[in-house]
Amino acid sequence: MRKLIVSIVACVMMSLLACQDTKESDVPFNDISSYKKIGMQISYETGARWIEAYNQKNNIQARSTLSPYTISAGQLQEAVASVNSLVGVAFHHAIDENGEHHFIVIPVDESLHVWSNIPGRAYIDANTNREITREVARSWAQNYEDAHAGEIWFHFFGSNIFEEIFDVSYFSTLNIVPALNTSNLTPQLLLMIINEQLSITGRTVDADDPLVYDASSPCPPCPVEP
């Protein structure tokens, strides 16, 4: 009988320890390296198909992959350098006082907050490729959030993607292109680098297919805090 009681107590203690281990392992933690890996290159064919799907859904006639939203290589380089310990970049939907849609490019550091007041952090308007103030950026973003409650407010790409982009020899402009995943009809945001036509000994050759990056993490659900 005593052995039975001891066995029962031992089993209970082991169960409690197992439960404790499970609870501890289920506790979420901020793995900065995981955030940095968000995003990847996809095929141009897939990107073009998704852009066409987005254009059709929104009655946009232009078939071109070129976008009204761009940021120059130099401006992007300065933006990501405006924060210490870059983790990634958020591309935030926004609406200005005239009702025009914008994308605001916002570097994110290890605080994982998009709108925390970090001294010197750059906010770039992708419509004009110019820096705007935090106050203007937040106001425009709030306009979009108010008009699109429950929808995606921004897309986040990890810093590893930008290291790869900066290594592209012909990178001069980053095109920011809305798209629609044709498999699950979810909104996407593509980053595209287009190699302009090259002139070789007076002969023009076709440009390579654009480089396309996707697999960003949308908000909501938010990978980083607004």
Q: What local confidence, expressed as pLDDT, does residue 62 receive?
A: 62
Q: Which residues pair with 130 in a beta bridge?
A: 125
Percent of the chain past pLDDT 90, that is, above it, reads 69
CA atoms within 13 A on the CB side of 140: 27
In this structure, are residues 141 and 68 in contact, taking their beta carbons and an 8 Å threshold?
no
53-86: pLDDT as tens digits? 999 998 887 655 568 999 999 999 999 999 999 9
pLDDT of 16 higher than 90? no
Is-contact 42 161, C-beta < 8 A? no
Q: Which of 117, 89, 121, 84 is nearest to 103 (CA)?
A: 89
CB 72 within 8 A of CB 136: no
Q: pTM for this structure?
A: 0.81
